[in-house]
Amino acid sequence: MTAGSGPPSGDGLVWRTATELARLLASGELSSVELTGALIERSDAVDPGINAYLHRTDELALEAAGAADARRSRGEAASPFDGVPVAYKDIFVTRGVPTTCGSKILEGWVPPYDATVVERCHGAGLPMLGKTNLDQFAMGSSTENSGFFPSRNPWDTGRVPGGSSGGSAAAVAAGAVPWAWGTDTGGSVRQPGGLCGLVGAKPTYGRISRYGMIAFASSLDQASPLTRSVEDAAALMAIAAGHDPCDSTSIPSPAENYLDGIDGGIEGLRFGIIKEFTGEGSQPGVRARVDDAYTRLEKLGATLQEVSMPSFQHGIPAYYLIAPAEASSNLARFDGVRYGSRVAGDTNIVTMNSMTRDEGFGAEVKRRIMIGTYALSAGFYDAYYGKAQRVRTLIIQDLRRAYESVDLIVCPTSPTTAFKLGERTDDPLAMYLSDVYTVPFNLSGNPAVSVPCGLSSDDGLPVGLQIVAKTLDEKTMFRAAYAFEKDLGFAGSPEGRPRL
Amino acid sequence: MSTAPSRVIETTIGLEIHVELATSSKMFCGCEVAFAGEPNTRTCPVCLGLPGSLPVVNERALEHTIRIARALNCDVASHSFFARKNYFYPDMPKNYQISQYERPLGAGGVLEITGDFPTRRVGITRVHLEEDTGGSLHVGGSGRIADSEYSLEDFNRAGTPLVEIVTEPDIKSADEARAFVTELRAIVEALGVSDVRMEEGSLRVDANISVRNAGETEHGAKVEVKNMNSIRSVGRALEYEEGRQRAALISGDMPVQETRHFDEKAGTTSPMRTKEYAFDYRYFPDPDLVPFEPSDTWIASIERAMPELPVHKRSRLAEQYGLRPADIGILTTSTAIAEWFEEAASAYDGPAQKVANWIIADLFGLCNEAGIPLTECKISPRQLAGLVRLVDSGSISGKQAKQVLGGMFATGDDAALIAEKEGLEQLSDAGELSSVVDEVIAENPDAADKVRAGQMNTVGFLVGRVMRKTKGQANPKLVTDLLTQKLAP
């Protein structure tokens, strides 16, 4: 029995992909209110164990579901996905719905406007089920830096779901929502995607508007879907992609239909394997799955060749200068003056600012603000921020050179499977190294997707394969990921979902 | 016996000027740009710096900045970008200001100023574009933030496009500084890019001033002077500061580097609370905005659309109308005044200097008393020309004309109508006057004899008697002619 057949029932429903659910809604076999109700029930059952949500919006979702059903009954569906619920990482601002960015400093803030991503998803008729947990201000790789509580991996609740979009990943992996939005600054969607057995797809920088996405590192942040299938990732990305005049870094060209030709196969595509990423860096179980994946790609008619990226060894250091530098400035506005929490202290403004920030920000946020402030300081700028920007240029050049001879690049998403809660909290460097394979593509701006490539034989946890395309070549990226996903047959199979 | 050699002390001044652009919307969002108004009514997520909001550049502000840069003879950068200037202040919504640091839009310019000093070429270091902050009202204490009970913030002004103009330290006196600001204001006003109202803060001037003994190569300690809210204040503050520093230098009590506040009432400067540490603004390119490259064709099209600059207007007015240089200076302090003059001059066929005299000597006085600008007075340029023509024709005397002008100013009526209403027509009928002249000669035999004897300076006395008898309405020239005829030896 495949997941797509048989009459829809509460339990089976929650594992369907958004694409399957859209078909059921279109055929009238299912209403959005029923679906939303089932997901709310599922969330009630599983969320206490995984802590995926910071704020649930059940009533709003049911209201929106009713409206979607009404549209469908009039034959006026807002989009093919009208009525398929979604969740947002709590970094997207939502009008009238509290938005914290995972930090106490924003506790109580209710934004007066919607992020462009949210607005476009509302426009497509997707009911919002809630706001998901994250490492505060998206700084972290495990959600343990959330100002409220850590989320847990549905595959093993003693382990992290990855981060920073861990709440979104946990919710989708646990069947609480068919798909969800995260953001990816250094791997924050691809890594939790990999660790939770999901698809996490980061578009080309500038492809999706950042308007209304609380900035961590402006030159790296991109909204990115977390889904159960490649098709869903392509569809959700397409809903939000395209030029937005409110974001100056938004690419002016119209977005493509990523589903168009997604099943075209990979016969003849040339894949580059990064020489510098093929050493001892990964867990054996991860390496084995990824090597299997390479073999599978060849079996599907692709060719593999080694490409060298000498600049990638500087990726992590460069990232951990650029991202904190931008963050140190982006986070300056959280000062207790206009919104969020305020710790008054004694009577003067400087003390109020300091105490508010001291109590409101977590340790990792403070660490990065300190690093970033230092990197931008007079006398150090050239040695740190300036040099990191030069590394960034080198990374872009290395990739450009590689793409002269290959169509796609392929590598692991993360060197390890999901680690245990608390395992890396006292070792920031070990935590930072979770992003070693993902960070270079934020620095370069290339689109990259993590697609499940099975379970590690070490611990039975999911492993992600990362496929990276040329700038604005999301279509080829999705086509390759789709072919791989179909051939592997992991997604949608009982093996592909956690026992929760 | 020895005397201390007289010391020659040099003053060095550099100015930092901020001009608020009069664009219809703010620098990075669609909110309206206006002065004052109900607090926090012209705001949105962008100018409030709400989490998630992003700036989008107002192209018109770039264009205005390029206008200013070119008018100050600056080179326009072919590649430019915005940078963040990071510091905390409650009226700054993001706790960084979007500004420019490296590669300002304009650099390397020069502005020539003239006055009662040798013509001075003042270098323009940079012209850059940034966003304005909001405004704070500190309640309680001295009115400064440090000891206030609380502060109120108004973000209506936050995000208004602001052009910063920095000069080289080429200015040598308070007089020159005043002349520089006057000329700069005239230029910016002529360009039509700002209201340039110092009292409303759309033109703000800060100065750096130092003194040193002539011949020294190093500048003295630089004092920054703030709170100069009019061009007059710029002159007064810098004169005071120059004197204070000179006295300090002579007494050996060297001036120190500090920021001083000008007290408008007292006419003095006093130290502001000194900063405990030097600010490090940690400038870096704003990642929310993309670099921009003003094309040569764009710059050229901006230049083509530029109006006549004051310096060109002055030479044209001199050539076209033959006006006195001092009067040209006065008439070109604003585009509106110059236009008003030119309209009046074109409606008048005699020497334009006469029109200028009426504007400068009389009309300005009336406007000042009424507290309105020339352009808002009820008299049209054409009507002023009519008044001058009426005087030329001899219908009214110059003295009467001043009275007529007052009437015109109050009512907006034509000169002829006022003259008629007030019975101010000049008595120019020789027959009618002749009998009055005869009466006066008869009544003043001694004076008449003196004139007959050739003492022509006594004619004036008799003219005065005629004028008195005619209640001032006689045409004095005609009276003089009649008297000299009748009393010819």
**Interchain pair B53, A211: CB under 8 A:** yes
Using DSSP's 3-state secondary structure scheme, residue A305 falls into strand
Spatial contact of A192 and A418, defined as CB atoms under 8 Å apart = no
pLDDT grade, residue B6 (50/70/90)? low
Domain ranges of chain A: 10-265+489-496, 313-390
**Interchain pair B287, A219: CB under 8 A:** yes
How close does chain B come to A215, measured CA to CA in Å?
6
Could you say which of A151, A165, A168, A188 is catalytic?
A: A188
Q: Which of B47, B86, B88 to mutate to test the interface with A (most CBs of A within 10 A)?
A: B88
Convert the pLDDT of each residue in A106-132 to its tens digit: 999 999 999 999 999 999 999 999 999
Q: How far apart are CA A227 and CA A232, in angstroms?
A: 6
The encoded tokens of residue A55 equal 């704020």
> Nearest-CA neighbor of A87 among A49, A46, A117, A66?
A117
**Interchain pair A335, B153: CB under 8 A:** no
Q: What is the mean pLDDT of chain A?
A: 95
Nearest to B280 among A93, A109, A377 (CB): A377
**Interchain pair B288, A337: CB under 8 A:** no
Convert the pLDDT of each residue in B333-383 to its tens digit: 888 999 999 999 999 999 999 999 999 999 999 999 999 999 999 999 999
Backbone dihedral angles phi then psi of residue B330, each to the nearest 5 degrees: -70, -45
Q: How far apart are CA B404 and CA B467, in angstroms?
A: 18
Spatial contact of A216 and A138, defined as CB atoms under 8 Å apart = yes
**Interchain pair A249, B287: CB under 8 A:** yes
Residue A141 annotated as catalytic:
no
What residue in B sits closest to A386 (Cα-Cα)? B284
B52 touches chain A (CB under 8 A): yes
**Interchain pair A249, B53: CB under 8 A:** no
pLDDT of residue A10: 55
A128-132 β-sheet, strand order: A53-56, A128-132, A86-89, A180-184, A222-227, A199-202, A448-455, A462-469, A408-412, A270-274, A303-307
Contacts of A333 in chain B (CB under 8 A): 49, 51, 93-95
pLDDT of residue B275: 53
**Interchain pair B90, A337: CB under 8 A:** yes
What residue in A sits closest to B285 (Cα-Cα)? A326
Convert the pLDDT of each residue in B265-276 to its tens digit: 999 999 986 554
Nearest to A335 among B88, B288, B290 (CB): B88
Convert the pLDDT of each residue in B383-441 to its tens digit: 999 999 988 887 888 888 998 999 999 999 999 888 888 877 777 777 778 888 888 89
Nearest to A248 among B45, B284, B290 (CB): B290
What's the start-to-end Cα distance of chain B, in Å? 72
pTM: 0.89
Specify the amino acid at residue A88: Y
Residue A9 annotated as catalytic:
no
Nearest to B45 among A113, A217, A378 (CB): A113
Q: Which residues contact B361 (CB under 8 A, 6 or more apart)?
A: none
Could you say which of A32, A79, A164, A209 is catalytic?
A: A164
pLDDT of residue B261: 93
CB < 8 Å & 24+ apart, contacts of B462-471: B465/B440, B466/B433, B466/B436, B466/B437, B466/B440, B469/B436, B469/B439, B469/B440, B470/B427, B470/B433, B470/B436
Q: With a cut of 60, say whether residue B1 has pLDDT above it.
A: no
Q: With a cut of 90, say whether residue B77 has pLDDT above it.
A: yes
**Interchain pair B54, A247: CB under 8 A:** yes
Instruction: Kindly tell me the burial class for residue A94, based on how many C-beta atoms sit within 10 Å of its own C-beta (0-12, 13-18, 19 or more).
Output: buried
Contacts of B93 in chain A (CB under 8 A): 333, 338
Q: How far apart are CA B29 and CA B20, in angstroms?
A: 16
**Interchain pair B282, A373: CB under 8 A:** yes
Q: How far apart are CA A113 and CA A151, in angstroms?
A: 27
Neighbours of B447 (CB within 10 A): 18
- B10 bridge partner residues: B212
Q: Domains in chain B, please, with CATH?
A: 9-298 (no CATH), 308-421 (no CATH), 430-486 (1.10.10.410)
Spatial contact of B166 and B126, defined as CB atoms under 8 Å apart = yes
Could you say which of A89, A131, A470, A475 is catalytic?
A: A89
Cβ burial A454-492 (10 Å sphere, 16+ → b, else e): bbbeebebbbbbbbbbbbbbbbbbbbbbbbbbbebebbb
pLDDT grade, residue B7 (50/70/90)? confident
Convert the pLDDT of each residue in B138-190 to its tens digit: 888 877 777 788 889 999 999 999 999 999 999 999 999 999 999 999 999 99
Backbone dihedral angles phi then psi of residue A202, each to the nearest 5 degrees: -95, 125
Residue A224 annotated as catalytic:
no
Neighbours of A371 (CB within 10 A): 18
**Interchain pair A106, B45: CB under 8 A:** no
- pLDDT > 70: percent of chain B: 97
What residue in B sits closest to A251 (Cα-Cα)? B290
What DSSP string runs through A94-142? BTTB---TT-GGGTT---SS--HHHHHHHHTT--EEEEE--SGGG--SS
pLDDT of residue B423: 76
Convert the pLDDT of each residue in A314-339 to its tens digit: 999 999 999 999 999 999 999 999 99
A247 touches chain B (CB under 8 A): yes
Spatial contact of A195 and B39, defined as CB atoms under 8 Å apart = no
Q: With a cut of 50, say whether residue B245 has pLDDT above it.
A: yes
A252 touches chain B (CB under 8 A): no
A210 touches chain B (CB under 8 A): yes
pLDDT of residue B149: 85
Q: How far apart are CA B333 and CA A349, in angstroms?
A: 43
**Interchain pair B280, A378: CB under 8 A:** yes
* Ordered mean pLDDT values, 10 residues apiece, chain A (500 residues): 45 91 97 98 97 98 98 97 98 98 97 98 98 98 97 98 97 98 98 98 98 98 98 98 98 95 97 88 93 98 97 95 98 95 83 94 97 94 95 98 98 96 88 91 98 96 98 98 98 91
Q: How far apart are CA B17 and CA B330, in angstroms?
A: 23
Q: How far apart are CA B489 and CA B481, in angstroms?
A: 14
Specify whether the backbone of B77 is left (phi greater than 0), alpha (psi in -120 to 50) or beta. Answer: beta
Spatial contact of B450 and B458, defined as CB atoms under 8 Å apart = yes
Contacts of A245 in chain B (CB under 8 A): 56
How close does chain A come to B44, measured CA to CA in Å?
9
B372 touches chain A (CB under 8 A): no
Using CB atoms and an 8 Å cut-off, which of residues 93-112 of chain B contact chain A? 93-96
Convert the pLDDT of each residue in B271-304 to its tens digit: 986 554 567 999 999 999 999 999 999 999 999 9
> Nearest-CA neighbor of A192 among A440, A452, A17, A443?
A452
Convert the pLDDT of each residue in B185-203 to its tens digit: 999 999 999 999 998 999 9
DSSP A241: B
Convert the pLDDT of each residue in A177-201 to its tens digit: 999 999 999 999 999 999 999 999 9
Half-sphere exposure of A216 (CA within 13 A, CB side): 35
Q: Which residues contact B164 (CB under 8 A, 6 or more apart)?
A: B16, B17, B18, B99, B126, B127, B128, B129, B130
**Interchain pair A349, B151: CB under 8 A:** yes
A335 touches chain B (CB under 8 A): yes
Q: Which of A333, A377, A384 to mutate to test the interface with B (most CBs of B within 10 A)?
A: A333
Q: Which residues contact A161 (CB under 8 A, 6 or more apart)?
A: A50, A52, A142, A143, A151, A152, A153, A154, A167, A169, A170, A173, A192, A195, A196, A418
Q: Which residues contact A49 (CB under 8 A, 6 or more apart)?
A: A152, A157, A500
pLDDT of residue A6: 44
**Interchain pair A347, B53: CB under 8 A:** no
Contacts of A339 in chain B (CB under 8 A): 50-51
pLDDT of residue B2: 45
Contacts of B30 in chain A (CB under 8 A): none
Convert the pLDDT of each residue in B45-61 to its tens digit: 999 999 999 999 999 99
Instruction: Kindly report the CATH class assigned to A10-265+489-496.
Output: alpha beta
